[in-house]
Structure 1
Amino acid sequence: MQLNPIPTQTELSHWGELPFTECGEPLVTLTETPRLRLRPVYAALGLRGASPTMQLRSGALTRLERAVSLLPEALGIIVLDVFRPLEVQQALWDWQWQEVRQSSPHFTDTEIYEKVRHFVAEPNADPTKPTPHRTGGAVDLTLFALATGEELPMGTAFDEATDATVTDWFERHPKLPFTSNRRILYGAMTEAGFVNYPNEWWHFEFGTRRWAGCRGMEVALYGSAE
């Protein structure tokens, strides 16, 4: 895998309006391997409805396994979140709302809303407009070193609500090892067929409406997996 700079990405304004033709791929339960570890963070946090069982669409899982194989041999992937039912999406939205309210007590509700939606897709029960994680085609992840089991430093924590979570932040504010570690993750995932959400270095998608928009396609593969 060639270690290239992460390109500047712009969030597409129209992806949420794209249709999908459900391809019928099943959700598959993930299992750990020496280079693929599972850490269901929202179940650990006790979010309402969150399950310790982690699932992805079969096509997305195949590509995740491909991404693992593209990494340097000394590295593996930790999966943090995958398929997320509507109940969990709502619980995450509510949790993030309270986090922002506590950290920025001077914010108005409008300002809190804009901050939260920057990091969490707004819950949506409309079956024609499923949020990415609800499709089973989105995955949140990070890297770890096989020799020690420790996570590689990425410059921010997972789900940290700061500007530095933007995927290419350390291309514009270079700082090793954050720059190279993000390049490794981005390179492996995109080469395997995923697209990245530009505001979150850990979030990648396959088969979703955002994925279709980024690929210049008119129709996505995945609807809601619920």
Structure 2
Amino acid sequence: MKPYQTVPICDRGEPLVPIPWDRFALVQPHPYQVLGAPYGDQSPYSLRAGVLAALIEAQHSLQGQRPGWRLQVFDAFRPLAVQRFMVEHTFLEQVQARGWQAEALTAAQRDAVMAEVVQFWAVPSDDPATPPPHSTGAAVDITLVTAADDPVDMGSPIDEVSPRSHPNHFAAAATARAQAVHAHRTLLNQVMESAGFRRHPNEWWHFSLGDQLWAWQRRQETGSDKFLAHYGRASVDLWVQ
């Protein structure tokens, strides 16, 4: 269990609503659907209504500083089955990257790989008290694109399992490119925080508002335990097409 999973959930019951295609850049085709992730008839480009409203506010803030730039949504809502699929997929990728065979792993090797994976991926818990952040509809993976829809250099791809994914990885680097990358990550964080989001400690691209991780971070910032999670695991009856 991660520390943030001890935060109580008091779900507001807000619906999951579609992220509007005409307001944000959405990665197409969706990267996890291409891999065969089992979404069924649920769209990955959905968020709780209050979270989407805040995302719109964040984009307004971005465009006030960089006219024409947009937030590009890589991923948002994940059914629990998709979270499980992606954790298993990432685990196997990391095994193969080490030149190991999945069927021949020792217990120590398995533990070592999984310890690295869970730095970036939440365990797909079936317990409603400990939902993965993306399964609440309150977390979103995003990057930036210019007014010409060109990707902004963020230093590493989304979902990369490496130290480069840590938000401040490039902060102390002296090269012009590294400093530009850090400036882009800082800009993204600033506009998201201005709308109430908080960034994942290990991932420059992951932001949440109202889930357990967000509440835990707000508690750490303020020293107050008054912050609760507003969103638990999203159920089918919250879905708005």
User: Is TM-score (shorter-chain normalized) higher than 0.5?
Assistant: yes
Q: Residue 97 of structure 1 aligns with which residue? A: 91
Identity of aligned pairs, percent? 33
What value does the CA root-mean-square deviation take over the aligned residues? 1.6
Moved more, 211-220 or 80-89: 211-220
In structure 2, how many angstroms separate the alpha carbons of the residues matched to 1:43 and 1:196?
Answer: 24
The structural deviation recorded for 1:74 is 3.1
In structure 2, how many angstroms separate the alpha carbons of the residues matched to 1:60 and 1:15?
Answer: 19
1:38-70, Cα deviation, whole Å (9 max, x unpaired): 123212332233755511001110110011001
In structure 2, how many angstroms separate the alpha carbons of the residues matched to 1:17 and 1:38?
Answer: 33
1:10-43, Cα deviation, whole Å (9 max, x unpaired): xxx6211111111111111112125x11123212
Pick from 35, 46, 51 the counterpart of residue 60 of structure 1: 51
Q: Contact 2:44–2:78 (CA<8 Å) still a contact in 1?
A: no
What are structure 2's unaligned runs of at least 5 residues?
A: 101-107, 220-225, 236-241
- The answer to whether residue 40 in structure 2 is matched with residue 70 in structure 1 is no
More helix by share: 2
| 2:118 aligned counterpart, secondary structure | helix
1:78-129, Cα deviation, whole Å (9 max, x unpaired): 1011111100000000100111001123681010110110111111000111
The structural deviation recorded for 1:77 is 0.9
Runs of 4+ in 1 over 3 A off after TM superposition: 50-53
Q: Residue 104 of structure 2 aligns with which residue? A: none
In structure 1, how many angstroms separate the alpha carbons of the residues matched to 2:77 and 2:218?
Answer: 22
- The answer to whether residue 209 in structure 2 is matched with residue 196 in structure 1 is no
In structure 2, how many angstroms separate the alpha carbons of the residues matched to 1:30 and 1:103?
Answer: 34
Q: Residue 113 of structure 1 aligns with which residue? A: 114
Q: 1:53 to 1:166 in 2, by over 3 A?
A: closer
Q: Residue 231 of structure 2 aligns with which residue? A: 222
One-letter code of the match for 2:12? Answer: C
In structure 2, how many angstroms separate the alpha carbons of the residues matched to 1:86 and 1:52?
Answer: 13
Q: Which of structures 1 and 2 has the bigger CA Rg?
A: 2
Q: Residue 34 of structure 2 aligns with which residue? A: 44
- The answer to whether residue 36 in structure 2 is matched with residue 27 in structure 1 is no
In structure 2, how many angstroms separate the alpha carbons of the residues matched to 1:53 and 1:92?
Answer: 13
One-letter code of the match for 2:17? Answer: V
Q: Residue 151 of structure 1 aligns with which residue? A: 151
The structural deviation recorded for 1:215 is 1.1
Q: 1:53 to 1:214 in 2, by over 3 A?
A: closer
In structure 1, how many angstroms separate the alpha carbons of the residues matched to 2:170 and 2:95?
Answer: 27
In structure 1, how many angstroms separate the alpha carbons of the residues matched to 2:6 and 2:206?
Answer: 20
| 1:48 aligned counterpart, secondary structure | coil
How many pairs were matched up? 212
Q: Contact 1:119–1:199 (CA<8 Å) still a contact in 2?
A: yes
**TM-score normalised according to structure 2 size:** 0.83
